[in-house]
Amino acid sequence: MSAGEGGTLTADAGAAPVFKDSRGRTFIPPTGMGDPRLLLAAYRLMPDGMVWRRLFPSRADQARQARELVRCMLRGHDRAEDAEAVMSELVNVAIAHAAGRPFFSSFIAEVQRFGTAGETLRVTVYHCGPTGIPTYRQRHSSISRRPIAGTADERCLLVVHGLADAVGYWDAPPGVPTYPMSAEFTAPA
């Protein structure tokens, strides 16, 4: 606030408006959807994190749609682009696993933000099992910081392990190749 003509107080141009609540406490309302206080309030409502899931048909053109889901849900996060690239690779692995099935197959793309301020991310792709029905449980997976030998797709492993802080693999039965299904990212401190 500054003194205007005649000694009246006027608001400074560009300054955020200041209000008082019913108890007389001063507060500054949100400045728009980009206000970080809104996101922090959402995390306080859901301290275990926020999760978004979407079901996709197992077709190559759906990788773009899954990337858009990640881009939308992680807008503004320092590692959003890494998560988007990894989601694309995980979707390609799921589609490859579904190839040749005589029935409709699908996968679920999952995006999670957790931590005290949503600083940690996890992207997961669950592809349909032998019945064609996808499951979205964190069961049967192991976390690895290095590529697991004998995995299905070497190119995918290079991208996923190059970008992610940790990678979750499906725990395959003996003799069956495993594959990556999730990746975690932490924002730099």
Query: In terms of pLDDT, which residue wins out, 79 or 1?
Result: 79
**Interval 89-109 mean pLDDT:** 82
**Tokens coding 51:** 């999760």
CA distances from 36 to 20, 31, 41, 160 (A): 21, 9, 9, 29
Pairing mode, if any, of strands 180-186 and 19-20?
A: unpaired
pTM, two decimals, is 0.69
Residue 25 lies in a domain: no
Domain, as residue range, for 79: 36-186
Higher pLDDT, 39 or 79: 79
Give the model's pLDDT for residue 10: 46
Classify residue 4: in a domain, yes or no.
no
The verdict on residue 29 lying in a domain is no
CATH of the domain at 108: 3.30.565.10
Structural domains of the chain, count: 1
Residue 30 within a domain: no
CB-CB contact of 41 with 117 (8 Å): no
User: Does residue 166 or residue 27 have the better pLDDT?
Assistant: 166
